[in-house]
Amino acid sequence: MQIRVTPAEKAALRRLAENAGQDVSTFVLSRSLPSARLRFHELLRALRNEDQRGFVISELDDFLTGLPGTAFPDAVAEADLSSHSPFVANYVAAMVEQAAGQKNCSPPRWTMAIDALDEPWFATDLKSLRPWLLAASPVPFRRRNLFVDAGVGSRV
């Protein structure tokens, strides 16, 4: 690949590539065309930041919704959620399971290894909405004791 860069930009790219343990071409390609698997793992890491969790869940929703069915199995094949709370692990697993169903794919095996929450979690504290959430929650969420009004791909 040939690109026009200044000597300073070339030196910066070389330094960044070395820090990443890659050659310049691999580094530039990895930044230009990140694989879906890398993006999935980036989102899982970002979920550790509690202050940004809502935004990251939204990004994960967009990612899973936009992922073609042909790329889905490879992108979500592995996930290490051991450093996440049971709530986050279940929420991610439910999202991935629902997206798998929407794409006519099998959910990855790691989702089965995550035990459902012991106590039900509702997306609102309003007790008057709980009957609605009990009925409206997508099956992958209900199975995990998570009660939400919508699932993957239904964000406005």
Per-residue model confidence as pLDDT tens digits over 76-117: 999 999 999 999 999 999 999 999 999 999 999 999 999 999
Same domain, 29 and 65: no
Is residue 152 in a domain? no
Is residue 156 in a domain? no
pLDDT of amino acid 21: 83
pLDDT of amino acid 34: 60
Same domain, 7 and 67: no
Same domain, 98 and 77: yes
Q: Whole-model pTM?
A: 0.76
pLDDT of amino acid 20: 80
Same domain, 77 and 45: yes
Same domain, 19 and 87: no
Same domain, 80 and 128: yes
Is residue 154 in a domain? no
pLDDT of amino acid 139: 96
Mean pLDDT of the chain: 90
CA distances from residue 16 to 6, 24, 25 in whole angstroms, order as listed: 15, 8, 11
pLDDT of amino acid 80: 93
Same domain, 18 and 66: no
pLDDT at 42 > cutoff 80: yes
Q: Which domain holds residue 84?
A: 35-147
pLDDT of amino acid 106: 95
CB 92 within 8 A of CB 149: no
pLDDT at 156 > cutoff 50: no
Same domain, 44 and 25: no
**pLDDT tier, 27 (very low <50, low <70, confident <90, very high otherwise):** confident
